[in-house]
Amino acid sequence: MLRAAIVGCGKIADAHASQIRRIKGSEIVGVCDREPLMAKQLCERFSVARSFSDVNDLLDSAHPDVVHITTPPASHFDIARACLDRGCHVYIEKPFTIRAGEAEALVALAASNDLKLTAGHDDQFSHVARRMRALVRSGYLGGPALHVESTYCYDLSEPGYARALLGDRQHWVRRLPGGLLQNVISHGIARIAEFFTTDAPQVIAHGFVSPPLRRMGERKIVDELRVIVSEEDRLTAYFTFSSQMRPSVHELRVYGPRNGLLLDQDHEILLRLRGRRFKSYGEKFFPPLLFARQHLSNLVTNAKTFLARDFHMKSGMKYLIEAFYQSILHGTAVPIPYAEILRTARIMDAIFDQLGDATIHRPVFTRERRAYGHV
C-alpha cells in the first residue's frame, strides 16, 4: 500500500484526489493547506482521515510515502525540498519550479536521497498522446523528428480562473516571473522538450499583451507568445500560446523525414500525415478518403475507451500517477525522464528572460484613433 498525501487543496487537488482514489494499492493519508478550511473540505469530500495546515505536521504525523504538491508554483521548491528531506517521493504539479536552477537542485536532492520525482505534465499521458508516442517509437516518422509544432491556447473569456485573474490585481499568478505564461505553458513546452536531446536548446521568444486585454487596461499579463526552439540545426520547434485564437486548440504536429503526425488533444484525435504523394489527381481524392477513415478510426477508439470506463477527463493524470507509483514500488524508471523535466524548465526560463519587460510601453492600435500610439 502506497500512502499518499496532498499539499495544497485548491482546484487541481480535486483532480489528484479523484485519480489517486482510482489507483489500487494507494490511499490518501492526509491533506494539507495553509487555510485549514480548505484542507477540511477536501478531507470531507474524499473521506480522508486527517487534515493539516502545516506541511511539517503532515509529514511528521501522517508519514506519507509520496506527496503531491498542488500549491501555487512559488512554493513548490520549498515544499518539495522539505518532503525530500523527510524521505518522501514527490509529484509536483506544473510548473515544476519557478526557475530551472530550483528544478536542478530538486533532482540532485532526490538522487542523493534515493527518492523519485515527477512533474505534472499529465497531458503527455492522455490516451492520444500515448498512441502518438507508440507510433513515433515504432519508427513511423522514418527517423528522428525534424520539426515539431506545439500550439497551446487558453481562452481568457471563460469564467472562473480567468475572471479571477483579470479582476484581481493581487492574484498570485501575477507575481510569478512569467505571469500567466508560467502557470499554463508547461504542457505545451513539455511536448516539445520530449523530442529534444540537448540540455538547453536555443530559444527565440516574442510575447505581447493582446489588444483585447490592453483595451481592458491590462498591461502586465502577456497572453500571446510565439517561440522558436532549435537544436544544432537538426531539430526545430515552434511553440504558440494564444488567448485570442479560435478555435482555442491544444495541438502537436511532428514531422519526420518520411511522415508526420498530428495530435489534437481537445478531440483526442491522432492523424497520420502521409509523406508519400499520390500521382496527379489522386492527390486530390485519395487523401480525403484516407483522412475520413482515420477520423472514423479515432471515433471508434474513443468510443471503445469510453465503454471500457477509461476515458476520464484526467485519464492522463491517472496514468502518470500510476506509472510514478509503479516506479517507486518496483524501482523502475520514472515516467518522465529528469532530463526532460529540466529541459522544459530551461526553455521556460529562456522565454521569460527574453520577454523581460515586454509588457510595457508597447504600441497599441485603437480602432477609434486609427493610429498607433504608446500607452
Indicate the angle between helix axes 11-22 and 315-330, nearest 10 degrees.
60
The phi-psi region of residue 133 (left if phi > 0; otherwise alpha if psi is between -120 and 50; otherwise beta) is: alpha
Among 10, 72, 275, 287, binds another protein (CB under 8 A): 10
Residues 247-306 that bind another protein (CB under 8 A): 306
Among 24, 112, 137, 170, binds another protein (CB under 8 A): 170
Q: State residue 252 phi and psi, 5-degree precision.
A: -140, 130
- The contact pattern for another protein, residues 145-164, with x = CB under 8 A and - = no contact, is --------------xx---x
Contacts of 366 (CB under 8 A, 6+ apart): 215, 373
Burial environment of residue 200 by CB neighbours within 10 A (0 to 12, 13 to 18, 19 or more): middle
In terms of CB distance, is 9 or 141 closer to another protein?
Answer: 9
In terms of CB distance, is 291 or 311 closer to another protein?
Answer: 311
CA dist 339 → 216, 286, 335 (Å): 40, 42, 12
Neighbours of 266 (CB within 10 A): 12
| Minimum CB distance to another protein, residue 128 (Å) | 16
In terms of CB distance, is 44 or 57 closer to another protein?
Answer: 44
| Minimum CB distance to another protein, residue 75 (Å) | 17
Residues 12-51 that bind another protein (CB under 8 A): 13-14, 18, 21-22, 35, 37-38, 41-42, 44-45
| Minimum CB distance to another protein, residue 315 (Å) | 9
Distance separating the N- and C-terminal Cα atoms of the chain = 59
In terms of CB distance, is 278 or 306 closer to another protein?
Answer: 306
In terms of CB distance, is 170 or 280 closer to another protein?
Answer: 170
In terms of CB distance, is 160 or 373 closer to another protein?
Answer: 160
Contacts of 251 (CB under 8 A, 6+ apart): 149, 150, 151, 262, 263, 264, 265
In terms of CB distance, is 60 or 266 closer to another protein?
Answer: 266
CA distance 299 to 158: 27
User: What pairs with residue 52 in β-bridges?
Assistant: 32
| Minimum CB distance to another protein, residue 37 (Å) | 5
Residues 311-330 that bind another protein (CB under 8 A): 311-312
CA dist 86 → 6, 72, 81, 82, 118 (Å): 15, 21, 9, 6, 17
In terms of CB distance, is 45 or 304 closer to another protein?
Answer: 45
Residue 220 in contact with another protein, rule: CB under 8 A: no
Contacting residues toward another protein, per CB under 8 A? 9-11, 13-14, 18, 21-22, 35, 37-38, 41-42, 44-45, 159-160, 164, 167-168, 170, 306, 309-312
